Structure 1
Amino acid sequence: MTAPEPARYHAEYAWLPDRPAPDADVLIEVVDGRFGTVTAGVPVPPPDARRLPGLTLPGLANAHSHAFHRALRGRTHGGRGDFWAWRTQMYAVADRLDPERYLALARATYAEMALAGITCVGEFHYLHHAPDGAPYADPNVMSAALVEAAAQAGIRLTLLDTCYLTATVDGKPLAGPQLRFGDGDAARWARRAGAFTPAGAHARVGAAIHSVRAVPADQLAEVAGWAADRAAPLHLHLSEQPAENEACLAYHGKSPTALLAEAGVLGPATTAVHATHLSDLDLGVLGSSGTGVCACPTTERELADGVGPFRKLVDEGSTVSLGTDSHAVVDLFEEARAMELNLRLTTLTRGQFSPVELLRAATEVGHATLGWTDAGRLEHGDRADLVTVRLDSARTAGVPPVGVFFAAGAADVTDVLIDGRPVVREGRHVRLDVPAELSAAIATVAP
């Protein structure tokens, strides 16, 4: 990609990093994909500045994605069940994917994210091999498909290459659709993951431990060490289901959090996804270690997982980011308010998170947990990501800018700039017919 030309934007309102109230008439200069000057109180813009009516925010970060789950939206509600029943349907989609189909589905899914104001995504990737478990001729061809999908959709990607070795906490081998997830052991996972270099400056690689079900205790440290040696982010699913906690306690005599702490996995470079069913001791361990947490409220309610103690985690010292996970909804505004509103239901108390905290979770913290510490703020020198939200739709009319996370939705996003390049204009992707792409890609893999 060539660097974009310098450009200037005039935002009706913009949420600046050094003060919580949105400022009016903000002139924003973009040079070589970075913010230059950001000046509030400029009522008369220069003639070459593009006007952005509404509220302009930093780019939103989706810290947890399984792109192929998008094919399940609206297809899993035919009967009662729980996470484990849903997982069977998810495996059916996974079994149908090859590199070409995955490229098409991920491109469409990432383009839907761009329409929703998401400028960066963390892809928790474990579809490594062919359906029978045999490596492809290029053992990282599925990773390359995701990197290319993000490039075509116009967003940044942190590929969280996921170690997935066993089916259960007690070490039962992978079978059926799970075969394609596994590398045999952590050493072979590390060799394969370490051999991959993403094409393009829009992508980087991190690591992931799928869960304590999927990586034996004696191999957790190798994955964590791989990430630490590369100063790369490390993510993991943690205590998403009570059954996971019960199995871990029965086999190891301790909670998943305690097991991970003992293995040296936790810390500021690590993000625990879901963190739904935690003891008070777990809360303290995660917070005191500085481990981040990623809330995925729309997926957690979709799968009947429960409501995580995110306020308590933040109070203990964790940061919180947001993810769309299974893509039952691709809408960071909904994820942010769902985190707050779900906690109101369980605590009977309003105001768990302030609007400023919700903004930071959706922007700055999310980018940082994916390794992009120079994004998520409208600040000189940072990556020039802009998301403009209408304040005159049926949802947002009459709402003060500070209330956007309690009123707006993805459909209210009008303009998205990523690294200084326009990706969405007037509510449409500049390159892709996203509904048509989604329909065509899902038709090839849906159960």
Structure 2
Amino acid sequence: MKRYWCEQAVVQGGTGPGAGPTGPTVAERVEIEAEDGRITRITPSVDASPGAHLLPGVVFPAAANAHSHAFHRILRGRTHHNRGDFWVWREHMYRSAAELTPEAYEQLATAVFTEMVVAGFSSVAEFHYVHHQPGGKPYAEPHAMELALARAAAAAGIRLTLLDTLYLAGGIGMPLSPEQARFGDRDVHAWLDRLASLRTHIAGTFPPGMVSVGAALHSVRGVPEADLAVVADQLPHDLPLHIHLSEQPAENAACLAAHGLTPTGLLARHGLLSPRLSAVHCTHLTAEDIDLLGNAGATVVMCPTTEADLADGIGPARALSDAGASIALGTDQHAVIDPWIEMRALEYGERLGSGERGRFSPEELLHAATEGAVRSMATPVAPEALRVGAVCDLVAVAAGSARTAGSKPQQLPLSATTADVTSVVINGELVASDGVHHRLGAPGSLLTAALKNFS
């Protein structure tokens, strides 16, 4: 059994026997007991038991990163020369993808996942499409790249949902380009077979609560319509399914020209809108698209700092939430790895787009950073407030830093950053303190070493 004593903690209201859920509340002097990675008892207003780990500050549930491309971390601070337009970014992204090997990717992903852990993320959905060797030939071990990512997550101690991605076209009606060849499979059936094999391999090698497999479609540009129908018919129903959706106006225009439907409408045509779907970005939706996603109970994964970095625009997060969609958050290309900044950027984007304050409450932002991702993941996700039975994934935030001093505890999503994270607990184990991973050290050193492998 593990015990953690918190100066303050965000807990589900009413922690005693028979108490009903009354929403998140901040409790004082809280002791949390955990066994087998789950919270078994929460006791407020007590002194620390002998042997309890002390977590100073305010303790929150750890965050869930619902959209990541680990190799894009190479791009941070490298794509802004000559004003850094989209083509500068695209050229560097494809060059980085071409340089990946299983060994180099494992080292890089270990560093990236470590950066996530010390920032307060306990789980990540990795949208993975670099499957094969440059040119498209499979590795001798057909899951070499996928297993590299799984080992990296295990080393960092983060929960990984490995989203094996179907990527068959370079655009609607276009073949994969040479630089995209390693992303693709022979056809949709070969992908389904490889996906099934990967699931078996991962299940036999890694704990299911820490590493599991999901599925992704790159986009309606990357998956021909006929193959969408096959996926809808043959993809196992227990898998979460992700897709990049309406990230840019050009995607919508191409889809309308080819199919007479928006990308959301095309998914609806084939029965792919459902609660298990996580649609990423959704920056340029019609009112009908918003209703379709909301009525389906889909999750929409917003990546505000990436959407700003790529000049994608501001997505209609408030309208989607009001329509019935769940909102989750991701770091995508890792221009920033900081759940607090993603929460704040979601609200700030809404304020800038609407001219109104208070589009999302701090509690709603915390929900988006945690439980909002629950259907996006194949591994457990921490709830928006600590409760008995939930995974013991915790993050402690300093309450008296230059950024947080004076903030009300429940409003820390609008003032804290990862620099204020003092402790991170995943699966009941204390894994990081004050920006340093207990097993792997400082993520900056890991990243510096890993990035030497790339131009």
TM-score between both structures, scaled by the size of structure 1: 0.96
Partner of 2:193: 191
2:315 to 299, 308, 311: 308
Partner of 1:16: 11
Cα deviations by residue, 1:200-252 (Å, 9 ceiling, x for unpaired): 1110000000000000011113334444x240100000000111001111111
Q: Is the 8 A contact 2:394 2:426 kept in 1?
A: yes
Q: Is the 8 A contact 1:120 1:367 kept in 2?
A: no
Structure 2 portions without partners, runs of 5+? 14-22
Amino acid at match of 1:35: I
Partner of 2:335: 328
Matches of 2:43 and 2:79 in 1, distance apart? Answer: 48
Q: Is the 8 A contact 1:209 1:223 kept in 2?
A: no
Partner of 1:337: 344
Percent identity over paired residues: 50
Matches of 2:400 and 2:144 in 1, distance apart? Answer: 44
Q: Is the 8 A contact 2:373 2:381 kept in 1?
A: no
Matches of 1:49 and 1:368 in 2, distance apart? Answer: 33
Matches of 2:226 and 2:160 in 1, distance apart? Answer: 30
2:206 to 179, 194, 200: 200
Partner of 2:161: 158
Matches of 2:51 and 2:373 in 1, distance apart? Answer: 32
Cα deviations by residue, 1:379-433 (Å, 9 ceiling, x for unpaired): 2122111111111111111111011111100111111111011110233110113
Matches of 2:427 and 2:357 in 1, distance apart? Answer: 37
Partner of 2:446: 437
TM-score between both structures, scaled by the size of structure 2: 0.94
Matches of 1:46 and 1:318 in 2, distance apart? Answer: 42
Matches of 1:122 and 1:240 in 2, distance apart? Answer: 18
Cα offset, 1:373, TM superposition: 4.9
SS in 2 for 1:95: helix
Partner of 1:91: 94
Partner of 2:140: 137
SS in 2 for 1:219: helix
Higher mean alpha-carbon deviation, 44-53 vs 86-95, is at 44-53
Cα deviations by residue, 1:28-79 (Å, 9 ceiling, x for unpaired): 001121111012222x222222221111011210000000000110000112
Partner of 1:417: 425
Q: Is the 8 A contact 2:307 2:314 kept in 1?
A: yes
Amino acid at match of 2:124: V
2:120 to 117, 121, 124: 117
Partner of 1:347: 354
Matches within 5 A, 1:398-413: 398-413=406-421
Q: Is the 8 A contact 2:79 2:88 kept in 1?
A: no
SS in 2 for 1:405: helix
Amino acid at match of 1:186: V
Amino acid at match of 1:328: A
Query: Is the alpha carbon distance of 1:74 and 1:130 closer, same or farther for their aligned partners in structure 2, counting shifts above 3 Å?
Result: same
Structure 1 portions without partners, runs of 5+? 1-5
Matches of 2:237 and 2:91 in 1, distance apart? Answer: 35
Amino acid at match of 1:139: P
Does 2:222 align with 1:219? no
Aligned length: 438
Does 2:271 align with 1:246? no
SS in 2 for 1:444: coil
Does 2:37 align with 1:37? no
